[in-house]
Amino acid sequence: MSDEKKFAGYICTGCGIGERLDSSQLEMIATREGKMQSCKQHEMLCSSEGVQMIRDDISSEGASHIMIAACSRRAKVEAFNFPEVAMTRANLREGVIWVRPDAPEHQETTQEMADDYIRMACAELRSLKLPHASGEQSLNKTILVVGGGITGMTAALESAAAGYPVHIVEKQGALGGQAAGYAKAIPTRSPYKEPRDTGVAEMIAAIEASGLITVHLNSTVAKTAGAPGRFNVDIATESGAVSNETFGAIIQATGFKLYDPSNLQQYGYSSSPDIVTNAELEKLVKAAAGGPVKRPSDGKEVKAVAFVQNVGQSSSEEGQLSYHSGIGDLIAIKQAMYFKDQNSDCDTTILFNNLRTPGAAGEDFYRAGQEKMITFSKAQVSEVVPGDSLEVKFQDLILDEETSMQADLVVLDVGMMPNSGPDPYAVPIVIDEKAEAASETPRAPTVTVDSILNLDYRQGTDLPHLKNGFTDSHFICFPYETRRTGIYAAGPLRRPMDMRQAQDDAAGAAMKAIQAAENAGKGMAAHPRAGDLSFPSFRMDGCTQCKRCTVECPFGAINEDEKGYPLFNESRCRRCGTCMGACPVRVISFENYSVESVNQQIKNVEVPEEFDEKPRILVLACENDAYPALDQAGMNGVEINPWARVIPVRCLGSVSLSWITDSLNSGYDGIVLMGCAKGDDYQCHFVRGSAMAHERMDKVGDTLSSLNLEPERVVVYEVAITDIERAPKLINDMAETVEKIGLSPFKF
């Protein structure tokens, strides 16, 4: 294909579009105003005939830029897949005819909406280029797994089964992790009546037999540089020897550590060897080798055991865990069965406050425990008194009375804590131009724990945390993925979980890592814009070295060169555009998404003059939540005000303040920004995009005041993909606001 641009438009008249809209007028607008060199109509553009018509024009007529006016850009993505050309889509179905009443009195405004969407799509198309891969990478299929426990071994085996070489780096001298010390595991198959074998030995044997898995024991990751497709990793052994390997993607599966109950004086953990944690009990049971379990103090067979649940968990007290690990009660049932099976006539009591048995085993395993005559007592333990015979004092929550029991052994259910590295954002990063300018090198956050990955990133050495020390790997928006592209978290590093859940988690992380390695080899983005070949380019002659792009990038994709200019790493980029929105001088852009491409859409909306009394409301909607919600509103026949013009954006974090000021200067009467939920329970696919947009928009009030405009004209909302009724209402509310405060004084 030649470098000459040839623009072609295609208008679908199916799905009721032709019945509701004047398609001839749309075609005329596309050719006369939109400068399409050709424009064709088709009664069902997504049909094989319609798609072939477009393909023929691309191959025979040399069409390089195509505009498709039909359904939403989220629909028919497989049919309208033309990677060899630049493409835009005008949403006439979900965005126009499905959100407007089919009545004669609404025909004029409905047609005006469609006309504008044609203008906007054509204008956007003229400012786009066909993105091409940078060609920096070649395919590297090798996966690094950090951690050799159940999660890490599963991730390695799953990756190897798919044909991908794997290196496991394990800090200890043997594989197996915490599970290697377990006598048995919670059952995972019906009838869920008996503890099962851990399977650790079989997994180790499978790894040793695999020709694709290399194991590094007594080893740690000394340094991780590079990016997906070319991670350059130094692996250090205890002896100090260092080997260097390159990897396509990384899975961190460093597991968990247990809460230390030593500071909880009421449980007497430090006062008696017969008061043990649930993990320590597993070692006692393994040492018994199928015989009676004996207590540590004197080696006598345990005749009475008490399990104290929820120790140091679900608490607001300082130094305790604010969350519950979820599986402690299932572990207690499993361990109580040890005594019923191995210690004859052992009095076995589980003292619980709120019994939780999640997962497949759940209720059936609890019933199996009852059948084995395990005593379940709803109680609040107040004290464990050490002695030759341990006294457990508690309040019976059924009888509502204080009582106690004697036990030879007390087992404390302590919670799971993630084995994470230091949170790189534990120390907030603040842009201080003077301090940064005075320093030759950027300052790294102070860390208080040993690093695991030792990332060579400006933004810190390890994976960012979400809360409670767990790795930021959002369960809704990007499970397994982290804020470091190509590095995936799995197992209890993400949240408390049992062995079965950890294995499932590991399989998911392995699939994500494989996808990341493959995409990196092609120069494509990772989730959620998987397949996107675009990446940011910087116009350095206009850069002011403000470092906002570096600091605000959620994924650590931008470092700085020796002169302080942005140093971009394409493979780390998720293509969210946050750097573009952060840039105050507008020198960052993508080939298929830029400040100009959106500005052109804004400017090509026909803004009526004041006497026409037809307001215009600009809606900038996140493509991951808000835009899909508006699409679903159309599918459900929810009405949207005819004055609104919706532009999907990659992330609210990509919104440039120039779009706001330019649209107000152009006579728009109101602006609605719709992004994802922010905060600890965020649903932003790009982590902090929505939060940063809210922070930026807080400053718009001053601009509005300087223009003598009401602050109500610009609003920012958090919108979920399920807000099918609410999202249109927010737009309609803005229309009511404009009606109250009047049209913009900047009308032409």
Domain ranges of the chain: 1-130, 143-255+419-425+448-522, 264-414, 607-748
158-177: per-residue pLDDT in tens?
999 999 999 999 999 999 99
Helices 23-32, 107-126: inter-axial angle, 10-degree rounding? 30
Domain 1-130 CATH (choose: 3.40.50, 3.40.630, 3.30.1330, 3.10.450): 3.40.50
pLDDT top residue among 212 and 540: 212
CA 221 to chain centre: 25
Look at residue 588 and tell me whether its pLDDT is greater than 70: yes
Of 436, 391, 597, which is closest to residue 444 (Cα–Cα)? 436
Look at residue 135 and tell me whether its pLDDT is greater than 80: no
pLDDT of residue 324: 93
Fold of 264-414: FAD/NAD(P)-binding domain (3.50.50)
pLDDT of residue 427: 64
Give whole-number Cα distances, 370 to 193, 359, 397, 418, in Å.
10, 18, 19, 32
d(CA 318, CA 735): 49
d(CA 89, CA 631): 14
Is the distance from CB of 63 to CB of 6 less than 8 angstroms? yes
445-457: per-residue pLDDT in tens?
333 468 999 999 9
Look at residue 742 and tell me whether its pLDDT is greater than 70: yes
Look at residue 392 and tell me whether its pLDDT is greater than 80: yes
DSSP, collapsed to helix, strand or coil, labels residue 640 as coil
Name the amino acid, one letter, at 69.
A
The tokens 């032709």 sit on which residue? 18
16-71: per-residue pLDDT in tens?
999 999 999 999 999 999 999 999 999 999 999 999 999 999 999 999 999 999 99
Percent share of the chain, pLDDT over 70: 96
Percent share of the chain, pLDDT over 90: 81
Task: Characterise 416 by phi-psi region: left (phi > 0), alpha (psi -120 to 50), beta (else).
Answer: beta
| pTM of the shown model | 0.90
CA 390 to chain centre: 47
β-pairing verdict for 617-622 and 670-675:
parallel
pLDDT of residue 428: 55
Look at residue 432 and tell me whether its pLDDT is greater than 50: no
Tell me yes or no: is domain 143-255+419-425+448-522 CATH 3.50.50.60: yes
d(CA 66, CA 88): 7
d(CA 412, CA 419): 20
Look at residue 122 and tell me whether its pLDDT is greater than 80: yes
Q: Does residue 165 have a cis bond before it (omega within 30 degrees)?
A: no
- Architecture of the CATH domain 607-748: 3-Layer(aba) Sandwich (3.40)
Instruction: Find all residues with CB under 8 Å of 275, minimum gap 6, and list them.
Output: 267, 268, 269, 384, 386, 390, 409, 410, 412
Give whole-number Cα distances, 176 to 254, 489, 539, 649, in Å.
11, 18, 51, 46
- Neighbour tally for 731: CB within 10 Å: 24
Is the distance from CB of 76 to CB of 82 less than 8 angstroms? no
Is the distance from CB of 655 to CB of 696 less than 8 angstroms? yes
Q: What would the two tokens of residue 292 be?
A: 């009676």
Task: Give the confidence band of 563 by pLDDT, cuts at 50, 70, 90.
Answer: confident
Look at residue 506 and tell me whether its pLDDT is greater than 90: yes
Look at residue 438 and tell me whether its pLDDT is greater than 70: no
Q: Does residue 528 have a cis bond before it (omega within 30 degrees)?
A: yes
d(CA 436, CA 690): 26
pLDDT of residue 268: 96
Mean pLDDT on 662-674 = 94
Is the distance from CB of 737 to CB of 651 less than 8 angstroms? no
pLDDT of residue 610: 76
Domains 1-130 and 607-748 share a fold: yes
DSSP code, position 178: G
pLDDT of residue 431: 42
d(CA 670, CA 660): 10
d(CA 19, CA 33): 23
d(CA 676, CA 477): 10
- Range 396-415 burial, b when 16+ CB lie within 10 A, else e: eeeeeeeeebebbbbbbbbb
Look at residue 1 and tell me whether its pLDDT is greater than 60: no
pLDDT of residue 341: 96
Look at residue 137 and tell me whether its pLDDT is greater than 80: no
669-727: per-residue pLDDT in tens?
999 999 999 987 888 999 888 998 888 888 787 778 777 889 999 999 999 999 999 99
* Least confident stretch, 60-69, 285-294, 422-431, 546-555: 422-431
Name the amino acid, one letter, at 1.
M
Instruction: Find all residues with CB under 8 Å of 634, minimum gap 6, and list them.
Output: 72, 93, 94, 95, 98, 99, 640
Look at residue 305 and tell me whether its pLDDT is greater than 50: yes
Task: Give the confidence band of 746 by pLDDT, cuts at 50, 70, 90.
Answer: confident
The tokens 């947009």 sit on which residue? 693
Instruction: Assign 3-class secondary structure to 463-498.
Output: CCECCCCCECCCCCCCCCECCCCCEEECHHHCCCCC
pLDDT top residue among 531 and 153: 153
pLDDT of residue 448: 42
pLDDT of residue 443: 40
Look at residue 275 and tell me whether its pLDDT is greater than 70: yes
The angle at the Cα of 464, spanning 462 to 467, to the nearest 5 degrees, equals 135
Of 466, 468, 467, 463, which is closest to residue 483 (Cα–Cα)? 463
